[in-house]
């Protein structure tokens, strides 16, 4: 168990460290979208603050760590030149310039939405949320089928078809992630807060199962399929070094 945790948990923890800032930026963008849709100035300010904090982490810490790892550790293993400190310093300067430019952009975004005082009253049909939720569900199901097909082939006929190795599962994972984010972005355009005086206008809130519930169900299926795909890829390819194809 400890060996399995070391093999999977340590790389995953390192991935989470570097991915935490981009994930926080995506979360803050959804906060900003909701703050604009609901005309909530405080939510918009918190969203911009989270984006700024994430940019500081990326430019001050992540760039330094990744630059030292790629330009020094990896470069020393692949080249006789070794660690290139000039490129490393130039990368840090570029990160500082990017942070200053991003701060100016965030200031302009804050000014752009400062005068938003009225919330939107859009229904799911107005943003075609039903279409996108069904598309996401179908795409996630395709990913699950693509993950299960090699095991079915290996257990029935004793071999893994070559097509399942030529088209990596990572493509489906990235595509489904983008579709999920876009589906939730569409959902944020709708008003999901129940108000008695708008009961007729917001009739979609009286439904037992909404399109947003379908999106959340797809998130659960996607996470389970993503974890199983990662493990299955290592098993079928012997750690990704020797594909078992026939």
Structural domain range at position 111:
18-119
Is residue 45 included in any domain, yes or no? Answer: yes
Would the CA dihedral through 85, 91, 97, 99 be positive or negative?
A: negative
User: Is the domain of 202 the same as that of 241?
Assistant: yes
Q: Domain total for the chain?
A: 2
**Which of 69, 97, 119 is a domain's end point?**
119
Q: What is the pLDDT of residue 135?
A: 93
**What is the mean predicted confidence (pLDDT) over 202-215?**
76
Q: What is the pLDDT of residue 70?
A: 65
Tell whether the model's pLDDT for residue 245 goes beyond 80: no
pLDDT confidence tier of residue 180, bands split at 50, 70 and 90:
very high
Q: What is the pLDDT of residue 246?
A: 45
Name residues whose C-beta falls within 8 Å of residue 92's C-beta, 6 or more positions apart in sequence: 63, 64, 67
Closest CA to 165 of 67, 60, 52, 244: 244
User: Is the domain of 83 the same as that of 203?
Assistant: no
Span 21-68, pLDDT tens digits: 899 999 999 988 888 887 788 888 899 999 999 999 888 888 877 776
pLDDT confidence tier of residue 218, bands split at 50, 70 and 90:
very high
């Amino acid at each position: 168990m400890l060996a399995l945790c070391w093999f999977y948990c340590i790389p995953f923890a390192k991935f989470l460290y570097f991915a935490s800032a981009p994930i926080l930026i995506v979360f803050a963008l959804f906060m900003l979208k909701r703050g604009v849709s609901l005309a909530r100035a405080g939510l918009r300010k918190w969203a911009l603050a989270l984006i700024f904090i994430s940019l500081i982490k990326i430019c001050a810490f992540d760039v330094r760590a990744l630059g030292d790892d790629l330009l020094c550790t990896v470069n020393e293993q692949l080249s006789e030149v070794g660690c290139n400190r000039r490129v490393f310093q130039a990368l840090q300067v570029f990160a500082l310039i990017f942070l200053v430019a991003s701060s100016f952009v965030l200031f302009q975004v804050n000014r752009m939405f400062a005068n938003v005082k009225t919330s939107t009253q859009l229904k799911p049909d107005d943003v075609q949320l039903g279409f996108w939720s069904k598309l996401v569900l179908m795409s996630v199901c395709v990913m699950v089928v693509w993950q299960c097909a090699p095991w079915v082939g290996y257990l029935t006929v004793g071999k893994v078809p070559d097509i399942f190795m030529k088209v990596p599962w990572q493509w489906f994972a990235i595509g489904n992630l983008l579709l999920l984010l876009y589906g939730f972005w569409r959902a944020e355009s709708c008003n999901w807060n129940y108000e008695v005086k708008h009961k007729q206008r917001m009739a979609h809130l009286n439904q037992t199962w909404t399109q947003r519930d379908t999106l959340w169900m797809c998130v659960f299926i996607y996470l389970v399929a993503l974890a199983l795909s990662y493990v299955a890829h290592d098993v079928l390819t012997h750690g990704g070094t020797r594909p078992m194809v026939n």
